[in-house]
Amino acid sequence: MSESCLEALERRVQRQERWVKISIGGWIVLGVLAVCAFRIQSKAEQTTSPISLKVSELVVVDSKGVERVRIGGDLPDAMYNGKRVPRGSKAAGVLLYDDTGRERGGYVTWGSENVGLTLDSAKQQVALFAAGLEGSALNMRYGQDSIDLRSDEDGSRITAVQDGRIVMQQPSTIKMSSGACADYRKARAKSSVEHAMSICQQRFTENACRACLDQK
């Protein structure tokens, strides 16, 4: 084979090598662009369509399997000293438990009327911060003693209770609304005057409670 033919063949091989290198480089660039485009699209989809988890209840347990947090749309009644204590109405929200599985508080809604934050001791609820459809209340309790700050249709007041009876209420001019009186009269009809009085005197003075419950 002549020298000129070898040179021509060498030039063709070099051109082919350059073409192969260019092709490989092009494919690498296209691959990188495809990966970038996929990641950008994935992020855009995550931004516009966030993942949603829909459950009726979620229970968190500790390393020993004890329930510590419960999130639910229909929470169970509370348990104190092994006894079931009704919540009064259906509740939904978050409940917290100690390492014995005993309820120690929560953040819940009761039906469509009240929402509240509660804190419990080992025996009873000892703190409540609640809001109704209009009024609100902050209550701290120890046994039959309590301090109550309340603002509702009956007015804004501070009430101190000892042994289940009011010992101080400010302002002292607070008067019971007709709606509150109707509730205590319903309690009287279902049980007794004494029971209704004991409930009433945790929020109003004895004179105010008697003026309401003595009505025929």
Confidence of residue 23 (pLDDT cuts 50, 70, 90): low
* CA distance linking residue 216 with residue 207, whole number of Å: 16
Strand, coil or helix: what is 166? strand
pLDDT tens-digit map of 48-75: 556 788 889 999 999 999 999 999 999 9
Given this model, what pLDDT does residue 89 score?
A: 80
The label of the residue with tokens 């929200």 reads 93
Q: Contact 81/123 with Cβ under 8 angstroms?
A: yes
pLDDT tens-digit map of 167-197: 888 887 777 888 888 888 888 888 888 888 8
Given this model, what pLDDT does residue 50 score?
A: 66
Q: Is 81 left (phi over 0), alpha (psi -120 to 50) or beta?
A: left
Alpha-carbon torsion, ordered 51, 57, 62, 68, to 10 deg: 120
Alpha-carbon torsion, ordered 87, 89, 95, 101, to 10 deg: 40
* CA distance linking residue 77 with residue 85, whole number of Å: 6
Query: Mean pLDDT, to the nearest integer, of 156-171?
Result: 88
Report the share of the chain in percent with pLDDT over 90. Answer: 29
* CA distance linking residue 96 with residue 103, whole number of Å: 6
Global model pTM greater than 0.85: no
Given this model, what pLDDT does residue 141 score?
A: 92
Query: Mean pLDDT, to the nearest integer, of 139-147?
Result: 92
29 has a pLDDT exceeding 80:
no
